[in-house]
Amino acid sequence: MAPAPSTSSSSKPPSLSGDTPATPPDALSLHPIPSELPAPLSDPPADIPPDGGYGWVCVFALFFINSSTWGINSSYGVFLAHYLSTDAFPGATPLHYAFIGGLSTSTSMVIGPLVTFSLRHASTRAVMALGLAMEVGALIAASFATQIWHLFLTQGVLFGAGMGFLFTASIGAISQWFSAKRSVANGITAAGSGIGGLAYSLGIRAIIARHGLAWAFRAVALCALVVNAACTALLRDRNKHVRPHQRAFDVALLRRWSVALVLAWGFFSMLGYIVILFSLPDYARSRGFSATQGSVLGALLNLGMAFGRPLVGLASDRWGRINVGGLMTAVTAVSCFAIWIPARSFGVAVLFSLINGAVCGTFWTTIAPVAVEVVGIRELPSALSLVWMSVVLPTTFAEPIALYLREPGAENPYLHPQVFSGMMYVAAAITMWLLRAWKLGENDRKLEEENRESGKGDGPPAVAPSGFLDRWKAGSKWWRYGWV
C-alpha cells in the first residue's frame, strides 16, 4: 500500500492563481528592504559652452559657408541689373526677375522646419552635404536656362533649397560653442555674407561682361563647391552636450508674446532689407550711374556688412543683444531717410552703401543670440525654425513690391521703395523696443522671486537713486537702462 501523503504544516498546496510560493523568511534577510526610496533622477546639468577652442574653427568654417551661400544670394542685384538692361529671356517682365531673387531667399526659409526635422534623424554634415549638392546643381542648371521658368526653378527654388539646408543646419552650431562671446562669434560668421557678396558681385559682373551669363553661373558653382565642401568637413556641432529640442514647428513657442515680437522683428526687417539688397544696382542705373558704378554700390554694401557685422556683434556682447539689435535697426531706418533719399551724387550713394551695409543686416547678426535671450539655448533650433517661416512672405514679395512702387521716368524712380524700406525698419525697431521692455520686466520678476526665496525682501527699504545714471537704471522698464 502506498504511504499516505504528508499533512505536515511545512507543506503548502500550490496556489490556484499561479502565484509563486511565498519567499522564505531567511531569504528576506539577504535582500533587506531599503529604508528610503532612491531619489528621482534629476535633469542633467546645464551645458557650459567652452567659449572658444574648436569653436573658432567652426566660426571660420561658417564664415566661408555664408560667403558662398548668402554672399552669392546678395550678388543677385548684379544678375537683376543685367536681366533688366538686356532681353536675355524674351517675354520676361521686371516682376518676373524680381520674384527670382525673392524665391531663392524665401525657399531657403520655408524649408527651415524640414531641415530641423532632418537634423533629428541625420548628422549635421549629412544635411549640409545634401544642401551643397542642390546649390551646385542649381547653378549649373541655371547656366543652361533658355526660358524664364527655367530660372524660377534653378536660380530661384533649387538654389534657395540648397542654401537653406546649408545655412539652417549650421547656424545653431556657433551658439553651442560660445556664451559670453556669442554675439561677436555670430557677427564674424554673418560678415561672411558681406565678403562673399563683395567678391561675387565684382566677379559676376566681370565674367558676364567678358564671357557671358552662362559662364558666370558655372564659375560661381565651382567656387561654391570647393568652399562649402571644405567647410562642411570642418564644422562640428555640440548636440550631444546641449541635447537641443529640434522640433520642426513648436506651437507652444508661438503662444509666447516675446516670441511673437521676435517674429515681427524679422518680418519687418526683411521687408526693408531685401529692397535695399536687390534694388541698389538698378537704383544706380535709374539715377544715371553706369552699370559698373551700380555693381560697385552693391559691392560696397556687402563691404559694409563685412566690417559692420562683427562690430555689431561685439557691441551686443558688451551692451546687450536686444539693446544693440533694436538700436542698429533704428539706425538703418535713419540712414534710409537721411542719406539714401537725398542722395544725388555717386559719392553720397557710396556713403549710404557703406553705412547702411554695416547695420541693415543686424537681424542676421543677432537673431541667434537674441533668440537665446528669449527662449534659451535648448529651444534655439525650434525657435529659429519659426523665425525662418516668419520671413518667407517678406523675402518673397519685398522686391516685387519695390519694383511695383517705383516710377520709371520720374526724377527719382525709387523714391517710394526708399520710403517703404525706411518705414519697415521703423516698424522693426518698435518691435525690438517692446521686446526690450518685456525682457526687463522678466528680469525684474525673476529678481523679485529670488529675493522672496532668500528672505531679502524683508530687509530695509532701498535707498532712492540720486544721480542721473542711477535714476536711469532704476526707472520704468519702458525707458530705463539695462543689459538685455
Q: What are 40-77's pLDDT values in tens digits?
A: 444 555 667 788 889 999 999 999 999 999 999 988 88
Cα–Cα distance for residue pair 196/190, rounded to 1 Å: 10
pLDDT tens digits for the chain (484 residues)? 444 444 444 444 444 444 444 444 444 444 444 444 444 444 555 667 788 889 999 999 999 999 999 999 988 888 988 888 887 888 888 888 888 988 898 899 888 888 888 888 888 899 999 999 999 999 999 999 999 999 999 999 999 999 999 988 888 788 888 888 888 888 899 899 989 988 998 899 899 999 999 999 999 999 999 999 999 999 998 878 777 766 667 788 988 999 999 999 999 999 999 999 888 888 998 898 887 888 889 889 989 998 999 999 999 988 999 999 999 999 999 999 999 999 999 999 999 999 999 999 999 889 988 999 999 888 888 888 899 889 999 988 998 899 899 998 888 999 999 999 999 999 999 999 999 999 998 888 888 888 787 776 555 555 555 555 565 566 677 777 777 8
Radius of gyration of the chain from Cα atoms? 29
CA 216, CA 106: separation in Å to the nearest integer? 23
Q: How far apart are CA 429 and CA 432, in angstroms?
A: 5
Q: Count CB-CB contacts under 10 A for residue 97.
A: 25
Q: What is the pTM of this model?
A: 0.75
Separation CA 80–CA 466 (nearest Å): 58
CB 183 within 8 A of CB 317: yes
The values of phi and psi at residue 376, to 5°, are: 95, 160
For 251, other C-beta atoms within 10 Å of its C-beta total 8
H helix intervals, 143-212: 148-151, 159-177, 182-211
Count the neighbouring beta carbons within 10 Å of the beta carbon of residue 433. Answer: 18
C-alpha cell at 202: 565684382
Cβ-based burial of 147 (10 A; exposed 0-12, middle 13-18, buried ≥19)? exposed
SS3 323: helix
| Cβ partners under 8 Å of residue 45, min gap 6 | none
Contact 365, 265 (CB under 8 A): no
Chain segment 203-256, per-residue pLDDT in tens: 998 999 999 999 999 999 999 999 999 999 999 988 787 777 666 677 889 889
C-alpha grid cell for residue 312? Answer: 555689431
Q: At what angle do helices 346-359 and 257-286 cross, to 10 degrees?
A: 160
**How many degrees, rounded to 5, is the angle at CA 218 between CA 309 and CA 290?**
60
**CB-based contacts of 28, cutoff 8 Å, min separation 6:** none
CA–CA distance from 18 to each of 13, 14, 15, 28 (Å)?
11, 8, 6, 22
Distance of CA 345 to the CA centre of its chain: 35
CA distance 329 to 364: 11
DSSP 43-92: PPPPP---SSTTHHHHHHHHHHHHHTTHHHHHTHHHHHHHHHHS-SSTT-
Q: Which three cell numbers stand for residue 441?
A: 520686466
Instruction: Select from 191, 53, 185, 168 the least CA-distant residue to 113.
Output: 168
- Closest among 151, 163, 154 to 96, alpha carbons compared: 151
d(C-alpha 379, C-alpha 371), whole Å? 9
Instruction: Let me know: does 385 contact 248? Beta carbons within 8 Å.
Output: yes
| Per-residue exposure over 69-79, b if at least 16 CB sit within 10 Å of its own CB, e if not | bbbbbbbbbbb
CA dihedral over 224, 201, 74, 359, signed as positive or negative:
positive
DSSP string, 12-38: -PPPTT-PPPPPPHHHHTTSPPPSSPP
For the chain, give the number of residues: 484
- For residue 82, the number of C-alpha atoms closer than 13 Å in the C-beta half-sphere is 19
Count of H-run helices and E-run strands, the chain: 22, 0
Please give the grid coordinates belonging to residue 326: 533694436
CA atoms 100, 351, 329, 237: torsion sign: positive
Q: How far is CA 473 from the centre of its chain?
A: 31
